[in-house]
């Protein structure tokens, strides 16, 4: 079984484990919960991962999906027909332009599952339009953009959920509670790892890094809108695919962020450090020299928090011999090493140095982390209650920073020192400037719903 097949099979198992529900609309969707108690939701992005999110939201009887937006006409129209068949009427409208969606005053919340370079601009637009938002990971491609989102959300007082999923799975919560309550002693180090680009080499039309040959975009695809704030480049058959969107640096940081968001988020949660990030980053990585893909392909980064706690962040090829030395190999996970043992957690389960750790029952006076029935369920509940979600914006910004600064240390080939209070690179202005990305016109003009005041 090749690496890509294994990864796809594990992905399908992960999706099931994390609540990727079948498309079942309960009869109560037309009963006691209709219509005043329902949350009206719009999905910005329909293909790939976005389709799974639609399946998660549509199962809840207090949610009504009323709008879809996507740059591919066939995707949005096919999904509209599928949802309307489920709802039994002309409930869902399809749009090519997200601004038409945000202008609707009957929409309470949006689910943003576009390519990464659109995440923060759309979230800012949603905040300004008065919508709550569920934003797929990773947060974005520019750290200063995320800081602007924080400001916009504070002003608009909107609910934000980061779509990392894992905090809503019991095994991750239990592992983090063991760490928080001292059951493995004083934490001495952390390891976090995830699949790297090699797991997807076989997916490109031109292998391993994608076709650079210009071609015509398919009919019904708004390529200019898909690019949005990203630089203008010729269309190719591999550019606007999920793999292109994952691994081309104009649109994403690669799996160092897109997959890394998962184990890093759990590292932060277990350590109780959603308010901060490591202060030191040094490591190595590889970037393809040809083809479309120019994000970091493989990496090994050593980080350190302000109190001296070390964390090692690795791609799967680097991590396999390291992790296999103490536990059965899984291509993603987070391990906390303490003075009295260790606990390691991934989507297949929790592994500990002492099997008795799995049987511990917390006392009422110990740290109990939030229990969630699902990332989307928690979001909907918080839209109603106006309480903080299990993955609020600050958790997204702080864990996302680890990916950005790891990527930066690799690209400049020198250590990066980070001030988490000021959220600035210390003593390296040339490196710091690389964290900012300009937005392509017209998205960098003073548009009231998007980029007003964004340019430095």
- Within 8 A by CB and 6+ apart from 218, the residues are 72
- How far apart (Å, rounded) are the C-alpha atoms in residues 194 and 264? 9
- How far apart (Å, rounded) are the C-alpha atoms in residues 291 and 240? 14
Map residue 109 onto helix, strand or coil: strand
pLDDT tens-digit map of 79-92: 999 999 999 999 99
From the list 348, 335, 257, the residue with the least C-alpha distance to 295 is: 257
pLDDT at 442: 81
Residue with tokens 């992905």: 11
Question: Which residues are bridge partners to 337 per DSSP?
Answer: 189, 342
Question: Distances in Å between the alpha carbon of 410 and those of 64, 287, 317, 321?
Answer: 44, 9, 16, 21
Confidence category of residue 35, pLDDT binned at 50, 70, 90:
low
The whole-number average pLDDT for the span 333-357 is 97
From the list 131, 21, 158, 117, the residue with the least C-alpha distance to 66 is: 131
Question: Which residues are bridge partners to 163 per DSSP?
Answer: 136
pTM of the model: 0.91
pLDDT for 118 beyond 90: yes
Which 8-state DSSP code applies to residue 452? T
pLDDT for 215 beyond 50: yes
Q: Give the largest CA-CA distance in the chain.
A: 63
E runs forming strands in 269-389: 280-286, 298-304, 310-315, 333-338, 341-346, 349-352
The whole-number average pLDDT for the span 429-439 is 95
pLDDT for 34 beyond 60: no
Q: Are strands 416-419 and 63-69 parallel, antiparallel or unpaired?
A: unpaired
Map residue 436 onto helix, strand or coil: coil
pLDDT at 19: 36
């Amino acid at each position: 079984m090749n690496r890509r097949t294994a990864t796809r099979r594990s992905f399908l198992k992960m999706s099931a484990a994390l609540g990727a529900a079948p498309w079942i609309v309960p009869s109560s969707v037309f009963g006691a919960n209709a219509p005043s108690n329902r949350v009206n939701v719009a999905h910005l992005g329909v293909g790939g991962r976005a389709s799974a999110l639609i399946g998660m939201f549509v199962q809840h009887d207090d949610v009504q999906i009323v709008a879809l937006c996507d740059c591919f006409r066939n995707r949005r129209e096919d999904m509209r027909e599928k949802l309307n068949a489920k709802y039994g009427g002309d409930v869902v409208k399809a749009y090519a332009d997200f601004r038409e969606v945000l202008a609707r005053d009957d929409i309470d919340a949006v689910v943003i599952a576009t390519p990464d370079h659109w995440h923060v601009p759309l979230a800012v637009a949603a905040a300004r339009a008065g919508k709550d938002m569920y934003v797929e990971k990773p947060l974005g491609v520019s750290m200063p953009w995320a800081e602007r989102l924080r400001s916009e959300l504070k002003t608009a007082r909107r609910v934000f959920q980061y779509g990392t999923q894992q905090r809503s799975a019991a095994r991750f919560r239990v592992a983090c509670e063991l760490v928080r309550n001292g059951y493995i002693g004083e934490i001495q180090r952390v390891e976090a790892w995830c699949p790297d680009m090699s797991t997807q080499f076989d997916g490109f039309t031109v292998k391993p890094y994608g076709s650079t040959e210009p071609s015509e975009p398919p009919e019904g695809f708004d390529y200019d809108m898909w690019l949005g704030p990203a630089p203008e480049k010729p269309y190719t058959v591999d550019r606007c695919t999920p793999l292109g969107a994952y691994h081309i640096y104009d649109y994403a940081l690669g799996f160092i962020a897109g997959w890394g968001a998962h184990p890093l988020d759990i590292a932060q949660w277990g350590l109780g450090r959603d308010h901060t990030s490591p202060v030191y980053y040094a490591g190595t990585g590889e970037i393809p020299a040809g083809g479309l893909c120019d994000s970091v392909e493989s990496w090994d980064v050593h980080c350190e928090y302000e109190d001296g706690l070390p964390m090692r962040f690795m791609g799967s090829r680097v991590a396999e011999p390291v992790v296999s030395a103490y536990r059965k190999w899984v291509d993603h996970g987070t391990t906390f090493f303490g003075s009295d043992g260790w606990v390691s957690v991934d989507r297949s389960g929790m592994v500990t140095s002492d099997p008795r750790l799995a049987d511990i029952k917390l006392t009422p006076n110990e740290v109990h982390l939030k229990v969630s029935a699902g990332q989307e369920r928690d979001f909907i509940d918080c839209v109603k209650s106006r309480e903080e979600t299990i993955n609020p914006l600050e958790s997204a910004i702080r864990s996302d920073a680890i990916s950005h600064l790891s990527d930066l240390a690799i690209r400049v080939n020198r250590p990066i020192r980070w001030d988490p209070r000021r959220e600035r690179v210390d003593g390296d202005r040339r490196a710091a400037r690389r964290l900012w990305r300009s937005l392509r016109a017209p998205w960098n003009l003073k548009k009231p719903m998007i980029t007003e005041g964004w340019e430095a």
